[in-house]
Amino acid sequence: MKFRTLKRHFNEGAKNIWRNGWMTVASVGAVTTTLVLVGAFLALMFNLNQIATNIEKDVEIKALVDLTADDAEIEVIESEINKISEISSVTFSSKEVELANLIESMGEEGNSWELFEQDNPLNDAYIIKTTDPLDTLAVAEQLEGIANIQEVNYGKDVVQNLFRFNELARNIGLGLIIGLIFTAIFLISNTIKITILARKREIGIMKLVGATNGFIRWPFFVEGLLLGVLGSIIPIVVIVSGYLYLINNVSALTQFTFIELLPFNPFAWQLSLIILSIGATIGVWGSVMSVRKFLKV
C-alpha cells in the first residue's frame, strides 16, 4: 500500500465518524462507560497490589534458639540457616536485644519487665526474611527441622490469610476487568453492526468497483481507533482527577504505614496510557469484527 492510500484511509475513517452521527455517539458512549469502570478497577487493583506487596515485604520469620544451646551449637545453627537458599537476610538478635525490644513495645507497662534484666527468660533469636514472601511457609518448615531451634514464629494465620486474600483480590479484579472489556467489545461491535447493515450495500458497491478487502477494511480500522480514543477522554479525566482527590483527601488512611497509595506521578499517567490503549483496542476490535462477515461479496 502506498503512503497516499494510507492517508486516504485515515481521512476516510475520520469522515465516517462524522458521517455516522448518532451511531458514533452511541459507540463512544459504550467505550466511555466501560473505561470508567475498568479504570476505577485498575486503580483499585494496582493499589491493593501495592499494599499487599508492602505487607508481604514486612513478613519475617523468627527462629528461637534453645535456651540450653552453647556458642558452638549456635554457630552450627547459623551455618544451617545460611544453607537455605530462599532467604534474603539473616539477623542475629541476642536475648538482651529481644528484651529491650519487648520492653520498648510495651511502653509504660514495660517498666515492670525491667526486673528481668538480671535474669533474662527470653531466647536468642534469628530474624529471617525470604526473597519471595510466598516462600515463608516452606522456609519456616525447614527452620523447624534444624537442631537446637526451639520454636519458629511467623504469624502463620496472618501470612496465610493475606496470601489467600491477595490472590483472590487479583483474580476477581482481573476477571471483572476482562468481563467488562468483552462487554464493551460486544456493545461497540453491535453498534457498528447497526450502521454496517446500512453499509452492507455500500461495501457491496465498493467491491463492484474493484476495492480489495483490505482497502475496505482500513477506514473501519481507523474509525474504530478514533472511536476508542474519543471514548477514553472522559474516563481519563474522571480517573485522573478522582485519583488526585483521593490522594489529597484520604491522608487519614495513611497513618497505617502499610496503606500507602501509589504516588500520583507517574501512576496517574501510566493508568491514563493503559486506559487509552484499552480504549483503542476495544474500538479497533469491535469495528474490524463487525465488518468481517460482509466482506465476502
Q: How far is the CB of 1 from another protein (least distance, A)?
A: 7
Please list, in sequence order, all residues whose beta carbon lies within 8 angstroms of the beta carbon of residue 195, skipping any fewer than 6 positions away: 20, 23
CB nearer to another protein: pick between 4 and 83: 4
Contact 105, 99 (CB under 8 A): no
State how far the Cα of 204 lies from the Cα of 215, in Å rounded to an integer: 13
CB nearer to another protein: pick between 117 and 202: 202
CB nearer to another protein: pick between 72 and 209: 209
CB nearer to another protein: pick between 215 and 258: 215
Q: How far is the CB of 208 from another protein (least distance, A)?
A: 6
CB nearer to another protein: pick between 226 and 280: 226
State how far the Cα of 206 lies from the Cα of 84, in Å rounded to an integer: 70
Q: How far is the CB of 190 from another protein (least distance, A)?
A: 21
Q: How far is the CB of 219 from another protein (least distance, A)?
A: 11
Cα torsion at 291, 183, 49, 43 (round to 10°)? 90
Q: How far is the CB of 198 from another protein (least distance, A)?
A: 9
Spatial CA neighbour of 204 closest among 76, 293, 80, 295: 295
CB nearer to another protein: pick between 8 and 170: 8
Q: How far is the CB of 204 from another protein (least distance, A)?
A: 8
**What nine digits make up the cell of 152?**
519458629
State how far the Cα of 159 lies from the Cα of 136, in Å rounded to an integer: 8
In terms of DSSP H, where are the helices of the chain?
A: 3-19, 22-58, 71-82, 95-106, 136-144, 156-208, 213-249, 264-292
Give the residues lining the site for another protein (CB under 8 A): 1-2, 4-5, 8, 19, 202, 205-213, 215, 296
Residue with cell 513478613: 59
Residue with cell 531466647: 123
